[in-house]
Chain A
Amino acid sequence: MFKDDFKKQFDDISLDRDTKERIKATLEGVETKAKKQKNPAVPWRIGFAVAAALAIVLSVALGHFSRLPSIAPEISDKETVLIRSQSYGDIYKALEEIRKSQMRDEEEITYEYDYEYVEESDDLATTTPTTSAVAGAVGSTESMSDSAADGSFKGSSAQSYTEKPEANGEEEYSETNVQVEGVDEADIVKTDGKYIYNLRDDTVKIIEANSGSPRLVSTIALPLDSERYYFEMYLSDNTLIVLGSVYKKFGSSIVTDRLATMDMVVLEGDTEFIAYDMSDPASPRLIGSYSQSGEYNSSRMIGGRLYILSNHSVSLNNMKKDDPKTYIPTLTNGKETVAMAPECVMSPSCGFENASYLVVCSFDAKNAELISSVSLLGSSDTVYSSTQNIITATARYDGEKEHRQYTEVSRFSLADGDITYKGTGMVPGYLLDQFSIDEHNGYFRFVTTEDVYKEIQGTTAKGEGSSASSSTQKVTDGESTASYTVGSDDAVTDNESSSVSKYIKYTVTTQNGLYVLDGELNPVGNVSGLAEDERVYSVRFMGDVAYFVTFKQVDPLFSVDLSDPKNPKVIGELKIPGFSEFLYPYGEGQLLGIGVETDDSGRFRKGLKLSMFDISDPANVTEKDKYVLDNAISSEALYSHKACIVHEGKNLIGFTADFKSATAKGNTYVLYTFDGGFKELMRVECDEFSPKRGLFIGDVFYIVSAHSVHAFSLSTYAEIGAVAF
Chain B
Amino acid sequence: MEAYYTAAFEKHADTVYRLALARMKNKYDAEDIVQEVFVRLIRSGKQPSDEEHLKALLIRMTINCSKSGLTSAWRKNTVGLDENLHTNEQSRDVLDAVLRLPSKESTIIYLHYYCGYSVEELSRILGCTSGAAKTRLFRARARLKKDLEGVEL
Contact = CB atoms under 8 A, between A and B. Distances in A.
Contact of A2 (B17, B25, B143, B148): B148
Contacts of B143: 138-141
Contact of A139 (B6, B91, B93, B139): B139
Interface string A210-230: 000000000000001001011
Contact of B146 (A137, A245, A605, A688): A137
A106 interface: no
Interface string B78-119: 011111011110011111001011111100011001100011
Interface string B47-70: 111101100110010001101111
Interface stretch (A10-18, A87-95, A300-308, A463-471): A10-18
A658 interface: yes
B139 A33 contact: no
Contacts of B85: 13
Contacts of B53: 251, 254-255, 261, 264-265
Contacts of B5: 27
Interface stretch (A55-63, A166-174, A568-576, A671-679): A55-63
A690 B25 CA distance: 12
Contacts, number: 336
A136 B142 contact: yes
A199 B6 CA distance: 29
B136 A9 contact: no
Contacts of B28: 665-667, 690
A61 B67 contact: no
Contacts of B142: 134-139, 451, 508
A10 B34 contact: no
B85 to A, nearest CB: 7
Contacts of B134: 71-72, 397
Given A26-B74, A262-B125, A667 B17 contact: no
Nearest to B68: A231
A706 B73 CA distance: 7
Contacts of A445: none
A689 B75 CA distance: 10
Given A13-B18, A28-B1, 11 more contacts: A14-B14, A15-B31, A23-B38, A231-B68, A250-B46, A251-B48, A259-B124, A262-B56, A356-B129, A666-B28, A690-B71
26 contacts: A6-B109, A9-B92, A13-B95, A14-B17, A18-B79, A26-B76, A27-B35, A27-B39, A27-B42, A30-B39, A30-B43, A39-B47, A57-B120, A137-B142, A138-B142, A139-B139, A139-B141, A144-B104, A188-B69, A200-B71, A201-B65, A201-B70, A264-B53, A266-B127, A634-B25, A663-B82
Interface of B: 1-2, 5-6, 9, 13-14, 17-18, 21, 25-26, 28-29, 31-32, 34-36, 38-40, 42-50, 52-53, 56-57, 60, 64-65, 67-77, 79-83, 85-88, 91-95, 98, 100-105, 109-110, 113-114, 118-121, 124-132, 134-153
